[in-house]
Amino acid sequence: MALSTSHMPDAIANVSKYPDYYAAWRSDPEAYWRKAAETIDWIKPFDQVFDPQIGPFGVWFPGGVMNTSANCLDRHVDHGAGDRIAIIWDSAMEGRIERYTYRALRDRVAKVAGALAARGIAKGDRVVIYMPMVPEAAIAMLACARLGAIHSVVFGGFAAPELAARIDAARPKLIIAASCGLEPGRIVAYKPILDDAIARATHKPARCLIFQRTAAPATMIAGRDEGYLEAEAAATPHDPVPVAATDPLYVLYTSGTTGKPKGIVRDNGGHAVALAASIPLIFDVHSGQGAASEVMWTASDVGWVVGHSYIVYGPLLAGVTTLMYEGKPVGTPDAGAFWRVCAEHHVKTLFTAPTALRAIKQQDSEGKLLAPYNLSKLEALFLAGERCDPPTAKWIAALLEKPVIDNWWQTETGWPISARFRGLGLTVFKPGSGGRPCPGYDVQVLDESGQPNPPGEVGALVIRLPLPPGCAPTLWQDDAGYRRAYLEAYPGWYCTGDAGMVDADGDVWVMGRTDDIINVAGHRLSTGAMEEVLASHPDVAECAVIGKPDAIKGEVPLGLVVLKSGVNRDHATIQKELVKLVRECIGPVAAFKDALVVPRLPKTRSGKILRATMRQMAGGANPVVPPTIEDAAVLDQIAALLKVTSHIA
C-alpha cells in the first residue's frame, strides 16, 4: 500500500487510511514485512521472513546478508544522491554550523572504519563510544557498523563507576571518546572520567581514540590513547563488511530494576527494515531526487535510543537530512532556541521530549520568543520519552498551530509502538494518548490474572509475540534474563512494564509504569490522570504524582508541582486550589490532600521524572538512585520538603 506524502491536518483526521493499513498487516504479517524489506539493499536475500525457533521469541530475516552502514550511506551515493545533505550539525555551544553531504559522510565513515580496522577491530568486536552531540559520534557509530563491529554508546558525562560497569559488561577492544562536552555555562571534562572508569574496570581496552575539542583538550596516555582525527586522516578507507541480518548492530545499556544495566541488543536486518519503513509511515519525511531532501530534527542525544533511531540510523536509512543539535531548549541562549533552529534549517518535523516543552513553557508560556521566527516549513511536532500531559500538548498545539503527535515506545522496541501516522493521514488528536498501534504491534491490556481488560479499563500493556522487526531480540549474552524480564509474566506476550488502557477507538493511553498505579482504599487509580489535572492549573509548569503509604487507605497520592517562572502567589493558596481541582475532576475517591510546591523535579538526563525514586523516599525507604540522574542534589531538596532523610551519598 503506497504511503501518502500529503500533510493531513488534524481537522480532517477522520479520513486516515490507518485502519486499512493496519488491517493489511494483521491479515498477512509475513507479506507486509517482506514488502518492507524491499527498501533495503541485501547482499544475500534472507531465507525466510521470520524464524520462531531461534532465540527467546524468534528472529527476523534469517539467512539474509547486508550492511547497515552501506544502506545508510553507500547506496544513496551510488544512486546519485551523493550531493544531498545527510547531516546538519548546529552547535549552539560552539556557535557554528556544519553540513555533510552523503558522499562526504560516507568518505569520513570509511576512513574511520579503516582506522578502527588498523587497530584490530573486526566483525563482532565491541567498541564503546563516549561522546557528546558532535558529528564524530555518528561517524563512529556508522564506522563500527561498516566493519560489523558492535558499538555500545554511553551517554556523554556518565560518571566513572557507571561507565566502568558498561566497559566490563561490553568488554570493548577499543573506546572512542571526546575530550569534553559543552553545557550552558560549563565544560564537562570527559577524559578524566574515562581514565577513572578504565582504572576501575576489570576489563582494560587496549586502545582509545580521543576526539580533541579546543574548549578542553585532553591529556593523552602514551601507548593507549591516540587522536581521533589524526587516526582518521592517516587511515585507508574500508569497504562495508557483509554481516548476517541477525548479527548484532549495537548494544545499548538501559536501567534495570535491580540497578544493574541491561544490554539491549539490536540486530542489523530487522532494525534497518523497521526504521526505513517508519520514516515515511510515521513522520511523512521523504528524500527527493538527487540533492533534494526534507529535514527531520530529533532533539535528543545519540546516547539514548531515540538518538540512535532517529538522529542517526532512521533518517540515513531513508535518505533524508537529519539535524544534530548541540544545545538545550532553554539557556542557549533562551527559550526560543528550538524555534531558531527550525526556522534556520527549514525543519519539516521536530521530535522532542515533553520535558523540553515544559521547560520552554515555564520560561515563555505566551510564546513571545517564537514570534521572530518563520516556521512555515515546520509541519508537525512529535513527542516521546514520557507521556505528554494533555495541558502541555494543548498548549504547544495552540502555540505552533501544527499537529502534535505523541508516540509511545521503549529502548527495547527501538521504534514506536504507537503513533498517529502522518504518512497515512493523521488519526484523531487525543491529548494524552500515544496514538494507535503501529503495524507489527498487537497491543492489549491485561488484568493481574492475565485476562483481557475491556476498552477504557487500566491494566498492564502487553504486546502479542512475536515482536516486530527492530525490537530487541534478546539481552546481551543473556537470553534467560530477557525471558525473565519480559516474557514470563504473561506467557505469549511481551510485558512492557507500562500501565494504561486502549480505548474504544483503539488509541493507546500510557498512564505510567505498572507500579505507578496506586491502590487507594481498594481503588486502583492512575497517578497520570491526577498529573493531568494538576498540570491544567495555570500556575503549574510541570508536576508528578506519587503514592505514599497511609495507615488507613494503604496508599494516598502526593503531588509535587513546579510553578511557572514569575509566579509569586502564596504557595498555600495554590496548594488548596490544586487539592480542590483534583477533587472536582476525579472525585473524593482519589483522596488527594497534599500538593507540595518544589523548586524542581528529579530527572534523568533524558528528561524522565524519577517518580519511583521519590515514591521510595516518601515511604521512608533508602531510594535507588539511577546512574542517569541529571542532578542528585534535587533529591535532597525533595527530602527536606518530605521531611525524610534523603540517604543520598
pLDDT at 624 over 80: no
Residue 515 pLDDT exceeds 80? no
CA dihedral 43, 49, 51, 56 (to 10 degrees): 90
Output the pLDDT for position 6. Answer: 34
Which amino acid does the sequence have at 70? A
Average pLDDT, integer, range 450-475: 96
C-alpha cell at 406: 505523541
pLDDT exceeds cutoff 90 at 524: no
Q: Please, which pLDDT band fits residue 234 given cuts at 50, 70 and 90?
A: very high
Res 648 pLDDT > 90: no
CA atoms within 13 A on the CB side of 189: 9
The band of 584, judged by pLDDT with boundaries at 50, 70 and 90, is confident
The three grid cell numbers given for residue 308, joined into one nine-digit string: 540512535
Mean pLDDT of 214-230: 97
**Residue 257: pLDDT above 70?**
no
**Residue 204, burial from CB neighbour count under 10 angstroms (0-12, 13-18, 19+):** exposed
Tell the residue number behind the cell numbers 541480518, with chain if given. Answer: 245
Q: Decide if pLDDT at 5 tops 50.
A: no
Of the listed ranges 320-329, 364-373, 469-478, 637-646, the least confidently predicted one is 637-646
**What is the phi/psi pair of residue 534, to 5°?**
-60, -40
The answer to whether residue 11 scores a pLDDT higher than 50 is no
Question: How much is the pLDDT for 612?
Answer: 83
Mean pLDDT across the chain, nearest whole number?
A: 92
Distance (Å) of CA 42 to CA 13, 113, 243, 272, 277: 37, 21, 10, 11, 16
Domains and CATH numbers, the chain: 10-502 (3.40.50.12780), 517-642 (3.30.300.30)
The 10s digit of each residue's pLDDT in 364-418 is 999 999 999 999 999 999 998 877 888 899 999 999 999 999 999 999 999 999 9
- Chain-centroid distance of CA 165 in Å reads 22
Measured CA to CA, the distance from residue 84 to residue 358 in angstroms comes to 35
pLDDT at 646: 45
Q: Which pLDDT band holds residue 117 (cuts at 50, 70, 90)?
A: very high
Q: What is the pLDDT of residue 412?
A: 95
Percent of the chain with pLDDT over 70: 95
Task: Read off the pTM.
Answer: 0.88
